[in-house]
Structure 1
Amino acid sequence: MIFDLHTHHQRCGHAQGSVRDYISAALDKNLAYIGISDHTPFFAEPEDHPDPGACMAKSDFPAYIREVLALKQEFAGQIDVLLGVEADFIPDCLDLYRGILQSYPFDYIIGSVHEFAGISLYDSDYWDQLTREAKLEVKNSYYNHVAQSAAAGLYDILGHVDALNRYFPGYADLHPETAENMLKTIAEHGIAMEINSSDDLWVPDHWLLERALHYGVKVTFGSDAHEPERVGEHFSDIRKHLLDIGFREWAVFKNRERIMLPL
């Protein structure tokens, strides 16, 4: 059964295509479930739309919900359209985000770390000028931040864990003990970890997934597609990869309830 729980669309300002375009692409590829999970607005900022290239406006959020719910009804019987959202993990704003997100009928919420300890996920220049010891501190800080997000009680899925592997050269060679603590926390709180295929370097990598299996972490799949044609990208290869590691099931979500599907 093919599914994809992580997609974006034009409202976020850095993706192409409408929500309907992503559903149509999913139908063309015979998906059983298609999750729409665009970035939340910056709810903590006073402006309605402080960064149009990063996420939707606060005033547009209700329209996003209405559109996905309407399309869910329109395509019922053809494909399960799931209402999701990708929310940044911002520790100081958890109560604000919790209050807003819990007022809508989401099927799932993805929690993603894009910045931690003042460091951007994409700032390879910062990483390059660090010593090995400082790089290890950064990785420890990141894993601690992800563990905090798993324990926050807000998310169903953790998005693109270890995405720094794509941007920070040599990152994958560091295996700190905090990785084990992070995975234990994820497992203890019953959060699913996404296998993200937004480029050819899937994350998490083989090593972290082996450790995740050891601790009983549940996994799911998301292409993180920003163009409709990339919906479901690498699904079959990632399925085989997980089977080779030893996983036998993965998760989808409806009404904030986890459903385990056989690989």
Structure 2
Amino acid sequence: MRDFHIHSNYSDGDFLGGMVRAAEAAGLEGVGLADHCNVAPRDRLERMRGLYGFNLDLTYERRREAIERLRERRSIEIYDAVEMDYDPRDEDAIDRFLAEAGFDYAIGSVHEVDGKNVQVSSQFTDLSAEARDAVVDEYFDRLVSLIESELFDIAAHVDLIERTRPLRERATTDHYRRVARAFADSRTIPEINAGRALTDAEIVHPGEEFLEILREHSVAVTVGTDSHEPDEIGDRVEFLENFFAREGLEPATPPSLERD
């Protein structure tokens, strides 16, 4: 098994070397460093990047040098990847950056709707049911745009809104079918993401109904522990190995790596 989605200190994870050593100790054949990056030119997002350090567009060359040194010392295959925040307004900027940086593969994520992070429950608790449904509709609109953009190899945590109590269980079968059709027509593939699988919430992305609809459309899936700390990797890898065996799934490789 290979894990195509972990983070390091080049965004919001732990030190690069420790993350790779933990992946190797977990028995992985390969691990993908997919640190967060946002290239939107809008002032608010530029301030957020400064606050949280999601500046891989400024540091990817330095990280690449560190990855090369680790490749010389470790037996595990290490991929130089990125997780990009997606907004339809930023497609040209994302395209230019990915062409310039030349990562092994790219992950796309929808984290925001109308300037609100969809993982922050407090931003949605006071909304009416209709307003919450509108947020969910917009989330899936953006996800479909992400897939249709063909900018990314992988779409991360494709039902991220399930992490957020006010938005949970508001997605419909129609939402899932629309996304599945978009994946079926695209090179982009979703991941099985274990970022919240071992918490009290016990959330696996995509959820059971969503995954079944993806299977009906013959959509391939790949693997992402979405780990930010070394001690998360081993347990999440074990969980995913069991999950794939139980579901009868075979993990796919990101399209860019298949071409290589």
* Short-chain TM bin: 0.7 to 0.9
167-176 or 190-199: which moved more?
Answer: 167-176
TM-score normalized by the length of structure 2: 0.86
Contact persistence 1:159–1:194 (CA under 8 A): yes
1:216 equivalent in structure 2: 218
Taking a change above 3 Å as real, the CA distance of residues 242 and 27 of structure 1, as seen in their structure-2 partners, is: closer
2:83 to 72, 86, 104: 86
Contact persistence 2:49–2:55 (CA under 8 A): no
Q: Give the Cα–Cα distance (whole angstroms) in 2 for the partners of residues 43 and 149 of structure 1.
A: 15
1:198 correspondence with 2:200: no
Shift of 1:232: 4.6
Partner of 2:172, secondary structure, is: coil
Shift of 1:103: 2.3
Contact persistence 1:43–1:58 (CA under 8 A): no
Contact persistence 1:42–1:50 (CA under 8 A): no
Q: Give the Cα–Cα distance (whole angstroms) in 2 for the partners of residues 253 and 28 of structure 1.
A: 23
1:257 equivalent in structure 2: 257
Equivalent runs, 1:81-230 vs 2, <5 Å: 81-169=78-166, 171-172=168-169, 174-199=171-196, 200=198, 201-230=203-232
Taking a change above 3 Å as real, the CA distance of residues 50 and 165 of structure 1, as seen in their structure-2 partners, is: closer
TM-score normalized by the length of structure 1: 0.85
Contact persistence 2:120–2:164 (CA under 8 A): yes
Q: Residue by residue, what CA displacement relative to the aligned partner does 1:58-106 show, whole Å, maximum 9, x if unpaired?
A: 432321222223423443xx21111111001121121112112122332
2:10 equivalent in structure 1: 11
Gaps of 5+ in 2: none
Amino acid at match of 1:61: Y
147-156 or 88-97: which moved more?
Answer: 88-97
1:21 correspondence with 2:25: no
Amino acid at match of 1:198: G
Q: Give the Cα–Cα distance (whole angstroms) in 2 for the partners of residues 117 and 41 of structure 1.
A: 16
Q: Give the Cα–Cα distance (whole angstroms) in 2 for the partners of residues 21 and 79 of structure 1.
A: 13
Q: Give the Cα–Cα distance (whole angstroms) in 1 for the partners of residues 177 and 232 of structure 2.
A: 32
Contact persistence 1:82–1:107 (CA under 8 A): yes
Contact persistence 2:2–2:223 (CA under 8 A): yes
Taking a change above 3 Å as real, the CA distance of residues 106 and 215 of structure 1, as seen in their structure-2 partners, is: same
Taking a change above 3 Å as real, the CA distance of residues 258 and 218 of structure 1, as seen in their structure-2 partners, is: farther
Partner of 1:241, secondary structure, is: helix
1:64 equivalent in structure 2: 63
- Same amino acid, percent of matched pairs: 24
Q: Give the Cα–Cα distance (whole angstroms) in 2 for the partners of residues 115 and 173 of structure 1.
A: 17
Q: Residue by residue, what CA displacement relative to the aligned partner does 1:146-172 show, whole Å, maximum 9, x if unpaired?
A: 010001121000011111111134622
Contact persistence 2:132–2:166 (CA under 8 A): no
Aligned Cα root-mean-square deviation (Å): 2.5
Shift of 1:133: 3.1
Partner of 1:155, secondary structure, is: coil
Figure out how many residues of one structure are paired with residues of the other and give that number. 252
Shift of 1:243: 4.4
Q: Give the Cα–Cα distance (whole angstroms) in 2 for the partners of residues 131 and 183 of structure 1.
A: 28
Amino acid at match of 2:97: I
111-120 or 31-40: which moved more?
Answer: 111-120
Contact persistence 1:4–1:34 (CA under 8 A): yes
Q: Give the Cα–Cα distance (whole angstroms) in 2 for the partners of residues 9 and 244 of structure 1.
A: 30
1:241 correspondence with 2:238: no
Shift of 1:238: 3.1
Contact persistence 2:87–2:142 (CA under 8 A): no
Shift of 1:127: 2.5
